[in-house]
Amino acid sequence: MDKLIVEPSGPLSGEISISGSKNAALPILMACILPRGRIELTNVPHLADIRTSCKLLNILGCQTSFENGTVVVECGDLDPHAPYELVKTMRASVLCLGPLIAALGEAKVALPGGCAIGARPVDMHLKGLERMGATFELTEGYIYGSCDKLRGAHIVLDFPTVGGTEHLMTAAALAEGETILENAAREPEVADLANFLNACGAKISGHGTSVITIQGVPSLTGCEYKVMPDRIEAGTYMMAAPLTGGEIFLRDCPFHELESVVNKLREMGVGVEETPEGVMVRAAKELLAVDVDTQPYPGFPTDMQAQITTLMCLAKGVGTVEENIFENRFMHVMELNRMGANIKIKGSTAIVRGVDKLAGAPVMASDLRASASLVLAGMVASGSTEVQRIYHLDRGYERLEEKLGAVGARIRRVKG
């Protein structure tokens, strides 16, 4: 199993180009089950989850190719069975369920796996599809779904779930009649999926708001589409500049989609300036502790919680980080404390008291964003930090060690 060895880095300086969004590309790939014709997706990041999605599409009856950031998909005769061997490694695989039912009238999809950051049930996905006429049976770890024809429905989500909103919106694109999703997720990746489906001929409006309306159409066609930049990758590199006392220019950075992160960084004293080509991030004269409260978009993203926790470890004063999305997303805290951080957990809140320095140590990544937070910590720790189980990291960051290395970080991969 690969691991990263992170040595102390001086102030980072230079430019990093932001890759395409993993969290936008994955649901778009699952939506490629619906259109007839050739689909060409550009700005797709080269990640393990993307490769897994292409393998799954191939098994389901689509021909895919992935080269130089471009995925080409052409669907033939679809197979409704999504096997456990692939679905277990990636939660987004469940998003093929609704499209298969919409296209074929049936699906057999393994219950999903993914990061160990708490229960992320598919209940709302299934309840919404049932409102549209589907029936389900859960047997031996598989979801069996069937329906003569999906029909539009008025669905009020219990929580603005991103995956649930994406799933129901995609399935509704070919449903008969109108579907209205209330309390829908407002994340930019949801809007990117809607824009892709509209480019294929769907009739979706209201994306980016809490009420999305989908007018079902008889069929969708292929298109060319560019995936949006990855705001979580960009936010992670935003933390690297002030952490090391340097400055980094982030090319193709989605600034407005990171407003809540930018506001917190500025509150900590970090300089963040938007330009036509990207965003310049400059270290603070003195890092100040803040209070962070994760919320659905446009609130502070849970996917940036681990990274800002690492930044706060070296800030002046005491700050709090309250996690409101996932109940098990403080697993990185124990590892940071092993490196000399002073963090206490009380329920869903981490209390972070700033320290003068961190010390290198062997640490283990528990999930995708925790992996990134430990790499960040290693760059400013004295001595070597060995980050193990980085297969999590490879699921969501394209060439992280190369990108950070290009601006002065000392990181090397050791093959396992």
SS3 347: coil
Task: Identify the domain boundary among 172, 192, 226.
Answer: 226
Say yes or no: 175 and 265 in one domain: no
Query: Which of these is catalytic: 62, 115, 147, 313?
Result: 115
Say yes or no: 215 and 342 in one domain: no
Q: Structure tokens of 254?
A: 């989605």
Say yes or no: 365 and 334 in one domain: yes
Q: Residue 395 — pLDDT band, cuts 50, 70, 90?
A: confident
Q: What are phi and psi of 372, to 5 degrees?
A: -65, -40
**Rg, Å, the chain Cα set:** 21
In-domain check, residue 19: no
Task: Identify the domain boundary among 206, 226, 246.
Answer: 226
Say yes or no: 161 and 237 in one domain: no
Q: Is 223 a catalytic residue?
A: no
pLDDT, tens digit, 9 for 90 and up, residues 257-316: 999 999 999 999 999 999 999 999 999 999 999 999 999 999 999 999 999 999 999 999
Say yes or no: 35 and 127 in one domain: yes
pLDDT, tens digit, 9 for 90 and up, residues 40-58: 999 999 998 899 999 999 9
Single-letter code of the amino acid located at 291: D
- pLDDT given at position 115: 42
Q: Write down the residue that tokens 């008291």 correspond to.
A: 353
Say yes or no: 236 and 153 in one domain: no
Q: What is the pTM of this model?
A: 0.95
pLDDT, tens digit, 9 for 90 and up, residues 163-213: 999 999 999 999 999 999 999 999 999 999 999 999 999 999 999 999 999
Region 384-403: what's the mean pLDDT? 94
Say yes or no: 247 and 322 in one domain: yes
Q: Residue 71 — pLDDT band, cuts 50, 70, 90?
A: very high
SS3 353: strand
Residue 81 belongs to domain with CATH number = 3.65.10.10
Say yes or no: 152 and 254 in one domain: no
* Domain count within the chain: 2
For residue 360, what are the domain limits?
Answer: 3-14+230-414
